[in-house]
Structure 1
């Protein structure tokens, strides 16, 4: 599953799938050296829990309070919402530094693919697992979520189907603690249906469209993690998690986790002033500032967050024509953007050249159309967009496009580079920064942009995101906020998602990626360099690499 982030910072904490990145290190060492190999890097100051003091408050920053606490809802499909939910909600699998999957035994004693014809998966729930209201986690929670995400009822405003559109039925197994999912079509990413960036929610949230869409708008519902939400203070912009008194697993070392709403520019100063304990570093200036701050360590590991542009191709949009979008894509110097933003953050900055896989991940290859402003100008001429002074026109309409992004220095710097690039071919880019509160709900989800900038954050199940982001389905936007696609692309996505042979699935996924470039759907820019400034006495937290964080083991050294 793919979730959104407003910033180019590393969203903390998140499972990652790969990145060209700085070498692993900590403390006040010099600029990045070497490139971390995917699946080998994990920089979290690992300590045995015996070395940690009991109690303490982990203080983190977010850009805004959740628009919706339902992470399955289109308004809750956000990296920062996910970061709050991770310590509180069930997931089926965990990953180690090599991205190898293990059943999350806090919630499930076994998860098995028990048949391929038809495909069938059996989930056996830990008999100790309960929701925070005391009710047991049962097969009915799984069944209810499967129905909600099936796509059959368009009243459910889902972020993605996550393969549940391929499910024929969910049945009770040997008892209420076992669910048997039978598929009507093969689904390649079946392990990710309740894992990665997708959580299991109680049936009270998924049982009806009204509950799904509205019940978690004002605050969270029942949860089932080592922490629960203690309070949400909208006036102060603060959320506090506390230990879950019904938690059946290992007792957390921390007493609380506090998330405070901070503007992007305020986060590093807050770290310096001992107001928060960790922050992702957006540029070399921030890295140098963090490195010179006493008591701060720089943790480094490959990250899977990447910045990109999404074009708005909805009918009536100025970019509705595929050829115009492709021409504009070719005029944007993504290597120049990478050089400007990531110089000093990684050894050899490069743009991201794939929509599905990140650099270093198995399956990654360059499927991009390349930087060719001469061709871009020629193609716009052929489409009837002729230069009139400095800006092209067609049928009395100027080729002026609104670029909407979160109001942060890095995003604005990227937009300014693009603005200069496009001016060279007679396209005027209007830069429109927006506040974090309501950024997606008011701008991106309704399509109130010509070009939108934000970051995607992936998980170890990239094929699950193909229909979510690149499929075009009537009245079902999911994550395709630019409303761009084609029947041919839909068919290729369907073929890929149905392929159970991993090698064949990778080949098909790269065909999808090339087609996405050719549609002018969106344009990947850069992956996160994966540099995080962390308080040096904080253990088992930081740049997690490919590994899941264990929230019961995070704490402060004695």
Structure 2
């Protein structure tokens, strides 16, 4: 599954579901990716078409793993990729990502956004006078102020997925008028473009109850090229339609229909015309079937999506011991897993060696070093820790070394990866019980609350390595953010803070890699492989496919069907 990284980074459920990370994870701000020629993979693959070549109208049928648990992206249950993809049609993203991981400015929302002072750091945002919320209210500096109050971490009643960046803001003020916003930082924050995107209306942030529960079933106020026509949790569908009050370029599509489709049913749903694309999710069987479908084309790009294993280091967990976590990690042969999953779909099957930069980034370094697979070293460390072989499994003080690997049901690659891990762990005397839980409950009832020893899911990252990932690795006892394994240290916190405040791109990249080395040393989580970025897409669909980093948000005004 997939989660999005908050800048926010989003998670994806275990190789099947995606989470959005709140902040980022690949490009170094505006530095972007390496040229496609150096990696052999396209920056994006979307069947780019001029708008006059697209039909006016049509319904784009979009499959999702689940409808949002919360339509407030910043609430801990809301930072999931499916929701983030949907919100791009109905909410403002002032700082859209480009395919190459650079960051733009959407002038439909802001006419400008500039650093007007470096010490203290002050950003001035000028709001487009045409920008209005669906309740008729004009955008205002108060929207920025309300978001900051909700997300700065001072009031823990707000159940936020990340406080990164907002916690560094000293004040938000009205400038020359309500459309002029001045944000002053108490501490420098280099990735300031990661903030306020998506922007929410002040009404959604009014109090903790509204923030946590008021948008649980539906977005109450919108401002985008589309608006909500209906949401049906029983039928598991949501339909968006063109918003006639939208002040920007008119979308080509009439409607977008989001429908929950179980992963094993995706290919059949596409063949039957029930959906217009689907993520191949690194599944070779799905990949081959898409290649043979006469109505489909497989599109691939350098996509910011990677699979990892999170370890639960909470004090009550069997993996609370850092050295035990590291021993377990060294027993995982990520090379074998990568080749097994990716080998028939792309040439590059090298494992991922960095938590904060993905392959393709100009500043990527493989920092896995001494933590790479070494079965003998793993066995020796387990012996040293007192976990002695006793039959098939190791034991200590009468307790067997057996771990619960929680995965979402209906995700074949999660199951396959889990079985490989099970075999590899058996070789070092560690037992793995694979627990498959309903996909709709995977994050909310298991990952978010630490109900696992090990778990697999995918992070969808973005252009902001700190803004997107700090909440995953920063340890704050008062706010878990997205640090589901409860692992960290004061040293790592300081390294992340240092990187966040460094305005020089080269120095910040070095700081970020230093932080990544500490993440490895803590046994925080194990990156396994970066996604193939492969999607099956209807041949008649234009300006959509495998977008590289241009998925935060998708440009809904340009998607359409070729004439």
Give the shorter-chain TM-score range: over 0.9
Write out per-residue CA displacement over residues 387-416 of structure 1, whole angstroms, 9 at most, x where no aligned residue: 111111111111100001122110010011
**Aligned partner of residue 494 in structure 2, secondary structure:** helix
Aligned residue for 1:547?
550
Aligned residue for 1:256?
255
TM-score (norm: length of structure 2): 0.93
Match of 1:78 among 77, 80, 85: 80
Is the CA contact (8 Å cut-off) linking 1:17 and 1:303 kept in structure 2? no
Give yes or no for the alignment of 1:526 onto 2:529.
yes
- 1:71-220 matches, within 5 Å, as 71-195=73-197, 199-220=198-219
- 1:424-503 matches, within 5 Å, as 424-503=427-506
Quick check: 544-553 or 467-476, which moved more?
544-553
Post-superposition shift, 1:96?
Answer: 3.1
Structure 1 segments, 4+ long, off by >4 Å, are 9-18
- 1:24-43 matches, within 5 Å, as 35-36=39-40, 41-43=43-45
Describe the shift of the 1:485–1:63 C-alpha distance in structure 2 as closer, same or farther (beyond 3 A).
same
Match of 2:374 among 353, 366, 372: 372
Is the CA contact (8 Å cut-off) linking 2:45 and 2:547 kept in structure 1? yes
Match of 1:382 among 374, 381, 384: 384
Partners of 1:454 and 1:344 lie apart in 2 by 21
Post-superposition shift, 1:465?
Answer: 3.0
Write out per-residue CA displacement over residues 215-247 of structure 1, whole angstroms, 9 at most, x where no aligned residue: 011211101110111111111111111111211
Aligned residue for 1:8?
15
Post-superposition shift, 1:76?
Answer: 0.3
Aligned residue for 1:352?
352
Partners of 2:96 and 2:477 lie apart in 1 by 35
Is the CA contact (8 Å cut-off) linking 1:10 and 1:303 kept in structure 2? no
TM-score (norm: length of structure 1): 0.94
Post-superposition shift, 1:9?
Answer: 5.7
Post-superposition shift, 1:557?
Answer: 1.1
Write out per-residue CA displacement over residues 428-478 of structure 1, whole angstroms, 9 at most, x where no aligned residue: 011111221121110011100000111101111111134300011012000
Post-superposition shift, 1:7?
Answer: 5.0
Describe the shift of the 1:12–1:293 C-alpha distance in structure 2 as closer, same or farther (beyond 3 A).
farther
Partners of 2:469 and 2:536 lie apart in 1 by 33
Describe the shift of the 1:438–1:550 C-alpha distance in structure 2 as closer, same or farther (beyond 3 A).
same
**Aligned partner of residue 103 in structure 1, secondary structure:** coil
Is the CA contact (8 Å cut-off) linking 2:101 and 2:462 kept in structure 1? no
Post-superposition shift, 1:98?
Answer: 3.1
Instruction: Give the length in aligned residue pairs.
Output: 542
Partners of 2:277 and 2:534 lie apart in 1 by 11
Describe the shift of the 1:316–1:99 C-alpha distance in structure 2 as closer, same or farther (beyond 3 A).
closer
Is the CA contact (8 Å cut-off) linking 2:65 and 2:263 kept in structure 1? yes
Describe the shift of the 1:16–1:48 C-alpha distance in structure 2 as closer, same or farther (beyond 3 A).
farther
Describe the shift of the 1:518–1:359 C-alpha distance in structure 2 as closer, same or farther (beyond 3 A).
same
Quick check: 439-448 or 458-467, which moved more?
458-467
Describe the shift of the 1:239–1:7 C-alpha distance in structure 2 as closer, same or farther (beyond 3 A).
farther
Write out per-residue CA displacement over residues 493-542 of structure 1, whole angstroms, 9 at most, x where no aligned residue: 11111111111111111111111111111001111101111000000111
